[in-house]
Structure 1
Amino acid sequence: MSTSPTPLRAVVFDMDGLMLDTEPLYQAAWQRAAAILGYELDDEFYLTLIGTPTKDALKKVGAYFGPAFPLQRFTKLGADQWYRQVEEHGIDTKPGLLPLLDQLEAAAVPRAVATSSSAKQAAETLEASGLAGRFAHIVTSDQVARGKPAPDLYLEAARRLELPPTACIALEDSEAGVQSAHTAGMTVIMVPDLKKPSPQAESQAYKILSSLHQAAPLIADLLAH
């Protein structure tokens, strides 16, 4: 896939799974919450939730377990278990993220976040990981009409950056995120996390890389042209 003919001038980051190693924490929290309620949330099903807004993921969980499943209690237990996971393990940044951010900051490249988390979740997560203040804009799922895989998050990020979407590079780890950014018109670099890229993601991504270390020189090259 080729890049946009529009000069690339900004970078928009996904958060969970791309910048932060939070997906295993979410998975452990939700599986523990389900177990407390007497249900098994298996790994295969959890992978289908990655990249979708929390409210949509919760609806999927409710549909998966059926009408008798206590979704409201699961939601509270899941949040409690998440905070416990963070307290016990902290939130690690993905390898290569901090040098990449330093590189972009040194070059005065505008940066934004487009995340399926809520504004509250995003603020808490970025603060806990030490990333608060490193982005000009944080766009969250509760600030747009539709979450990923719809393009709304990335379109809103471009609007706040005051750039056309075609002038932005998007960094994503999930299929839903790649589809969202691609549909918005951005040049998408995928760094998969827990789930291997699908054929659709492979066709929509400009490049698929194994780490953010690889992304740094590629982004520098794209921004230079």
Structure 2
Amino acid sequence: MTVNPKELTAVIFDMDGTMVDTESIYHIAWQELATDLGYTLDQTMLKATTGRRISDCYAIIQAALGADFPMQHFQEQWWNYWTRHVQRHGIARKAGLDQLLNLLDAHAIPKAVATSSERTEALYTLDRAGIADRFSILVTGDQIQHGKPAPDIFLLAAERLGVDAQHCLALEDSEAGVQAATAAGMTTFMVPDRIQPSLDIAERAFRVVDTLHEVHDWIVEEWLAVVVEKEEGAATTSRIERLRTEWTETSGHEWV
């Protein structure tokens, strides 16, 4: 995939697994609850839920465990298991996140969150991770008709930012997220969390990197370098226009 950094204007972040280490907490909570109910959630099943809306996760789990699985009870109780784990262990921010957010803020680059989590869960997570005040735009899984891997959530985030989706840089950790972001036409960095991408997904992404530090460095070396060059070019043009005007006014001749 060829990307022109001159065209990028905003960054859209996935939340779970990309900015914060919460995918593992979901899996632990679901596994503990399923065990208490006499069932087992294996890694294949958990992988299928990664990056998806909770309603889609319910459908995946129900289909895998059968009609007898007490899904209503599962839906009512999993949040208690999840929050109990968070209260004990907290929510860790991913390596390089703070540095990246500081960079974007320093250069006034617009940013948003596009998470499959529902709004209540997302606000709780961002608050517990200490980054709720870093974002003014939050798009959640309960605000769209089709969840990841459909592009809806990224398209809505771009709309709320007031930018074209093709001018956005998307950051994702899951295969479903990469599918969604690339389907929206976004330049997509994949930062795998617990699961490495398939060859197909890796080829869809613009880059597959180990940490957000690498995203930070790319923005500095590729995106901002172009922005600075463009700004300096604009400044040069502006100076020439001023000289042109001054020459015409003082000499009475047109500068050609």
The answer to whether the superposition gives a TM-score over 0.5 is yes
- 2:166 maps to what in 1? 166
Superimposed CA distance per residue, residues 28-78 of structure 1 (whole angstroms, 9 cap, x where no aligned partner): 000001001000111222111101111100111011111111001112221
Distance in 1, matches of 2:67 and 2:90, equals 34
- 1:183 maps to what in 2? 183
- Does the aligned pair in 2 maintain the 1:110–1:136 contact within 8 Å? no
Greater RCO, 1 or 2 (C-alpha within 8 Å, sep 6+): 1
How far did residue 157 of structure 1 move?
A: 0.6
Distance in 2, matches of 1:13 and 1:184, equals 14
Q: Secondary structure at the match of 1:189?
A: strand
- 1:7 maps to what in 2? 7
Q: Secondary structure at the match of 2:39?
A: coil
- 1:51 maps to what in 2? 51
Aligned ranges 1:25-174 → 2 under 5 Å:
25-174=25-174
- Does the aligned pair in 2 maintain the 1:116–1:141 contact within 8 Å? yes
- 1:208 maps to what in 2? 208
How far did residue 3 of structure 1 move?
A: 1.5
Structure 2: gaps of 5 or more residues: 227-256
Structure 1: gaps of 5 or more residues: none
How far did residue 136 of structure 1 move?
A: 2.6
Distance in 2, matches of 1:220 and 1:5, equals 11
Q: Name the CA shift for 1:219/1:138 in 2 (closer, same or farther; >3 Å).
A: same
Distance in 1, matches of 2:222 and 2:185, equals 15
- Does the aligned pair in 2 maintain the 1:149–1:176 contact within 8 Å? yes
- Does the aligned pair in 2 maintain the 1:13–1:171 contact within 8 Å? yes
- Does the aligned pair in 2 maintain the 1:4–1:166 contact within 8 Å? no
Distance in 1, matches of 2:48 and 2:111, equals 28
Q: Secondary structure at the match of 1:109?
A: coil
Superimposed CA distance per residue, residues 167-211 of structure 1 (whole angstroms, 9 cap, x where no aligned partner): 100000000000100010110000001111112211110000001
Q: Secondary structure at the match of 1:40?
A: coil
Q: Which runs of 4+ in 1 moved over 4 A?
A: none
Structure 2 letter corresponding to 1:65: L
- Does the aligned pair in 1 maintain the 2:6–2:223 contact within 8 Å? no
Q: Secondary structure at the match of 2:7?
A: coil
Larger Rg: 2
Q: Secondary structure at the match of 1:48?
A: helix
Structure 1 letter corresponding to 2:17: G
Q: Secondary structure at the match of 2:113?
A: strand
Structure 2 letter corresponding to 1:196: Q
Q: Secondary structure at the match of 2:134?
A: coil
- Does the aligned pair in 1 maintain the 2:5–2:222 contact within 8 Å? no
More helix by share: 2
Distance in 2, matches of 1:155 and 1:223, equals 22
- 2:239 maps to what in 1? none
How far did residue 6 of structure 1 move?
A: 6.2
- Does the aligned pair in 1 maintain the 2:139–2:153 contact within 8 Å? yes
Q: Secondary structure at the match of 2:154?
A: helix
- Does the aligned pair in 2 maintain the 1:202–1:208 contact within 8 Å? yes
How far did residue 124 of structure 1 move?
A: 0.7
